[in-house]
């Protein structure tokens, strides 16, 4: 496994306004430094609507 557990992501950002848009952009463009030294590569084959759906699901994990 690479990257944070979805439930840890959900716990970290619980209740933050506008977080879905921010995380959806990170899913598409990649992310570094939020969790550790390993970056997430861009997922360029994921479009905006798909990223929103994925992020909503991730944020619903407990
Ligand atoms: C469409 C597929 C993916 C989704 C929906 C997804 C989702 C996420 C989310 C929501 C975060 C948290 C970002 C943050 O806290 O700012 C994250 C972080 C991360 N993901 Fe992914 N991810 C995907 C694919 C991947 C792939 C393919 C890899 C590795 C090959 C990966 C590795 C990582 C790593 C290493 C982090 C931590 C980055 C950091 O510290 O900033 N992810 N991912």
Provide the residue ranges of all domains of the chain, joining segments of one domain with +. 6-59
pLDDT at site 1: 85
- In the predicted structure, residue 57 carries a pLDDT above the cut 90: yes
Which spans in 1-62 are helix H? 6-13, 19-29, 48-59
Q: How far is CA 30 from the centre of its chain?
A: 9
Question: pLDDT tens digits, residue range 26-41?
Answer: 999 999 999 999 999 9
Per-residue DSSP letter, 37: S
% pLDDT > 70, the chain = 100
- In the predicted structure, residue 21 carries a pLDDT above the cut 90: yes
Site residues for ligand 1, CB cut-off 6 Å: 2-4, 9, 23, 26-27, 31-36, 38-41, 43, 46, 54-55, 58
pLDDT at site 5: 97
Closest residue to atom 31 of ligand 1, CA basis: 40
- Say whether pTM exceeds 0.85: yes
Compute, in angstroms, the gap from residue 18 CA to the centroid of ligand 1. Answer: 18
Report the CATH number of the 6-59 domain.
1.10.760.10
């Amino acid at each position: 496994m690479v990257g944070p557990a979805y439930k840890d992501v959900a716990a970290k950002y619980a209740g933050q306004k506008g977080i879905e848009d921010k995380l959806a952009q990170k899913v598409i463009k990649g992310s570094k430094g939020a969790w550790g030294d390993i970056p997430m590569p861009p997922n360029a084959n994921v479009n905006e609507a798909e990223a929103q759906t994925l992020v909503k699901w991730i944020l619903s994990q407990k």
